[in-house]
Amino acid sequence: MKSSRKLIDENGLRVDGRRWDELRPVKMEVGLLANANGSSYIQQGKNKIMVAVYGPKEAHPKHLGNPDRAIIRCRFHMAPFSTEERKSPAPSRREVELSKIIREALEPAVFSEYYPRSMIDVFIEVLESDGGSRCAGTMAASLALADAGIPLRDLVAACAVGKVEGQIVLDLNDVEDKEGEADMPVAVIPALGRISLLQMDGQFTEEEFAEALELAQKGCRSLYEIQKQALKQRYLPEKEALEAEEKGGK
């Protein structure tokens, strides 16, 4: 049952005060977990998601290994306390589906052929959910893969668009996701000019779909710059420190 409240007010502002084409506040960090090969954290709106990557490592059991490339395994999991009502810790059908979707969005970006008969494990843990968790999880997973030193064709940026009270809007929050008329998550690999994820729940006209896709790609480009900045903040200080140490030793 849909709420009778207004999701866009007379000033064109959404329930959280944003304009139709504004992203929620975003924070990304890389390299937070000492025991993982790569890790990242993303906060987008009220979404809080941690990702850990392990590998590449030898496939176990060995018969699961692919002689041509690494196998990427992805586990998307929402913590019991991540939603308003306590969620069962057991994997739900939605989590299994999102694990598959995110894995398929990441695979084209990874040079998996460099690691035959190997496995790369990606663990995505949603600590707090606020709509758009699959897109935020995809971006964080991409950063964690890069942090693990796994060669990528490019990072994967992702953003959802939707229709709320007849208006195309960017980066839906939980209320808009549940009560709006349509929701369309999109993930892109900028260097390849490729869309690696496109789903839709609801209905768009042909014109609305074209407008929504263009807006989603614009949002992805903005988020892509934040992803790159997160990696720079993690590794440029280390590089500069090493260069300074080398100069000092000469």
Domains of the chain from N-terminus onward = 26-240 (3.30.230.70)
On whether the CB atoms of residues 180 and 21 are closer than 8 A, the answer is: no
What torsion do the CA atoms of 64, 104, 200, 161 make, to the nearest 10 degrees? 140
- From the list 210, 168, 217, the residue with the least C-alpha distance to 14 is 168
Q: Is residue 9 over pLDDT 50?
A: yes
Residue whose C-alpha is closest to residue 116's, from 68, 72, 71: 68
* 212-235 mean pLDDT: 96
**Mean pLDDT computed over 130-143:** 96
Average pLDDT over all residues of the chain: 92
Neighbours of 93 (CB within 10 A): 7
Segment 41-62 shows an average pLDDT of: 94
Nearest residue to 23 via CA among 125, 127, 206, 158: 158
When pLDDT is cut at 50, 70 and 90, the band that residue 249 belongs to is: low
Q: What is the mean pLDDT of residues 90-113?
A: 95
What is the separation of C-alpha 29 from the centre of its chain, rounded to a whole number of angstroms?
13
Kindly indicate the confidence band of residue 99, based on its pLDDT and cuts at 50, 70 and 90.
very high
Range 166-172 average pLDDT: 95
Note the pLDDT of residue 1.
42
Q: Is the pLDDT of residue 250 over 70?
A: no
CA torsion through residues 213, 160, 52, 27, sign? positive
HSE, CB side, 13 Å, CA atoms: give it for residue 247: 6
Whole-number pLDDT of residue 248: 66
